[in-house]
Amino acid sequence: MSHFLYSLIGLAAGVCFILALKGLSTPKTARRGNIIGAIGATIATLVVFFYAQEGESLPLNNFGWIIGAIAVGVVIGVPAARKVQMTQMPQLVALFNGVGGGAAALVAIVEYLHLGDTANTAEVIATVFTVIVGCVSFSGSIITFLKLQELMTTRPVVFPGGRFVIAGTLAATLAAAVWVVIELGTNPLMILAALSLLFGILFVLPVGGADVPIVISLLNAFTGLTVAASGYVLDSTLLIIAGTLVGASGTILTRLMAEAMGRSLFGTLFGAFTAKPQEASGAAEERPVRSGSPDDVAILLNYARRVVIVPGFGLAVAQAQHTVRELADLMLAKGIDVAYGIHPVAGRMPGHMNVLLAEANVPYDQLAEMDEVNPTFGQTDVAIVIGANDVVNPAAQTTPGCPIYGMPILEVSNAANIIFLKRSMRPGFAGIENELLYDPKTMLLFGDAKASLTKVVSALKNL
Amino acid sequence: MEPIAIISIFVLAVFVGFEVVSKVSSTLHTPLMSGANAIHGVILVGAIIVADHSSTNLELGLAVAAIILATINMVGGFVVTDRMLEMFKPKKGGEKK
């Protein structure tokens, strides 16, 4: 195959990726967009097997190894993607992003070993960039995975002098980068990779649980840029186009997500260092709360005219989506006006809750976005908060310096009655006490969300 | 390739990337991120190229690892995105219990 044809097919794959991102931006065309992206990736992968790189011949060297490795990747990747619970999908995306970053770093290292002394300075700089950012993306993504999977604390991890350690590691990493460019050796490159991995860990540790999706999106954009840099070293236009597209769209997406959460990117990454330490509110747990029975809840609902359901991650964890739909249908049958108030970051990621409710066949027109539903809380008789906490926490509006300050919330406190379905008094993902729980018009229904809702449904049926 | 050609491709791709996703409802943020994530799995192409010209066992070993990781990223990424988007497809005759 001529170089021209090879490049032309690569360009076609690049166009597929543009159409894919375009398609993914609109609900109607999203699924088709994803498939177009997959087709582009398949074309790009197949065509490599039919083009002899400079100084090489066909079939590719190490052909068996290449096919075997692809098979292993498919065998690991596809079942993981198919079997994952929808609630755990954000951490899987984080993991996929991490391995992509790792792959880019490895490609850069191999190419560096291969080029040896023949590499020109521009190529070495691109390699160094890929190794640093790829390694940061890899180790950072692993930490976000551990946080989302709750294998480690979801709170910001800050240790004394942390900011100096991070600054020191960054300085050492940059020094190692300069060293690699000047010395051109394998050992400096390995040290650079190790320092970058360490920096990735330190960089993500101080980020609080609720901000993790923003970091995943940022690391996703980073990985895109490493792919573009690899494209430069490997003289592949396709990799430059694809990597740059992801880098640019990922950056915009990160900003959009941060805006939806009312956070600045800077605040997300460095907030833990500038925020005042949280006063430990040990006395808080002693305060009285009003808890009710499923029957109390059913009675309250039976005489309501308008009810807003605020679902959170706890709903998904309890797999209570179907039960909540049953409750909503029952209320609708009784002539009660029902809407779901969806916070942009309900769940673990923007749009996550929409996916989870759609899975339970909740009609799309009952889902109201935050801006739509907030003005209506004044006319709402009952707001039912199911397994959500941070997204309704008034501290976001009233307590400057708290980790979620400035995040737009669902203003359920304007409703005449508030019902919280919770497993315990434990604070939400961001680890902040919620004043609303102690509000006199709040009723708490403790227990597993699914079990509680089932009881409420049967109590309401009997009324 | 000419450096200016590379820079041109890079700059134009940046603008295309900005443009295509500038207006997205928050509902689609997660699938879009996941889809973009799958797209950077094309680093698989790079991994295959370096595996092709690996001359030592170390190089080949690292290249094979890169291929495995990149394949997981790409194939897994597209499959999981499709699963997310499957939820958005229009319901056929709203089945109700």
- Residues of chain B in contact with residue A48, where contact means CB-CB under 8 angstroms, are 45, 48-49
Identify whether A75 is part of a domain: no
Same structural domain, A115 and A252? yes
- Residues of chain A in contact with residue B34, where contact means CB-CB under 8 angstroms, are 89, 93, 96
The residue of B11, B20, B40 whose CB has the most chain A CBs within 10 angstroms, and thus the best one to mutate to test that interface, is B40
- Residues of chain A in contact with residue B1, where contact means CB-CB under 8 angstroms, are 235, 237
Identify whether A427 is part of a domain: yes
Identify whether A303 is part of a domain: yes
* Number of domains chain B is built from: 1
Identify whether A31 is part of a domain: no
B45 contacts chain A (CB < 8 A): yes
Report the C-alpha gap between B46 and A305 in whole angstroms: 60
Distance of CA A395 to the CA centre of its chain: 23
Q: CB–CB of A12/A35 below 8 Å?
A: no
Q: Nearest 10 degrees: CA dihedral of A53, A58, A60, A63? A: 170
Residues with pLDDT less than 70, chain B: 1, 88-97
Identify whether A104 is part of a domain: yes
∠ Cα A66 A113 A237 (to 5°): 65
- Contacts of residue B87, defined as CB under 8 A and 6 or more positions apart, other chains included, come to A86, A355, A358, A359
Cα-based distances in Å from A212 to A80, A237, A247, A371, B59: 21, 32, 18, 23, 34
Identify whether A347 is part of a domain: yes
At residue B69, the pLDDT reads 94
Range of the domain at B82: 31-86
Same structural domain, A402 and A294? yes
At residue A282, the pLDDT reads 41
A34 contacts chain B (CB < 8 A): yes
The residue of B25, B37, B39, B67 whose CB has the most chain A CBs within 10 angstroms, and thus the best one to mutate to test that interface, is B39
Report the C-alpha gap between B36 and B32 in whole angstroms: 6
Same structural domain, A133 and A212? yes
Report the C-alpha gap between A70 and A77 in whole angstroms: 10
Identify whether B68 is part of a domain: yes
Answer with the one of A244, A275, A306 that is the final residue of a domain. Answer: A275
Answer with the one of A220, A241, A275 that is the final residue of a domain. Answer: A275
Q: What's the pTM value of the predicted model, to 2 decimals?
A: 0.79
Identify whether B49 is part of a domain: yes
Same structural domain, A358 and A439? yes
Answer with the one of A275, A305, A326 that is the final residue of a domain. Answer: A275
Identify whether A47 is part of a domain: no
A18 contacts chain B (CB < 8 A): yes
Identify whether B92 is part of a domain: no
Same structural domain, A107 and A193? yes
B55 contacts chain A (CB < 8 A): yes
B94 contacts chain A (CB < 8 A): yes
What's the CATH code of the domain at A336? 3.40.50.1220
Residues with pLDDT less than 70, chain A: 209-210, 261-263, 267-287, 403, 426-431
A320 contacts chain B (CB < 8 A): no
Identify whether A27 is part of a domain: no
At residue B88, the pLDDT reads 67
Identify whether B2 is part of a domain: no
Q: Select from A77, A82, A252 the Cβ nearest to the Cβ of B18.
A: A252
* Number of domains chain A is built from: 2
Q: Which B positions 7-26 lie with beta carbon below 8 A of chain A?
A: 9-10, 13-18, 20-26
ipTM of the prediction: 0.89
SS3 A35: helix
Same structural domain, A240 and A384? no
Range of the domain at A406: 290-461
The secondary structure of chain A in percent helix, strand, coil, rounded to multiples of 5, reads 65, 5, 30
Identify whether B65 is part of a domain: yes
- Residues of chain B in contact with residue A249, where contact means CB-CB under 8 angstroms, are 17-18, 20-21, 32, 36
At residue A427, the pLDDT reads 66
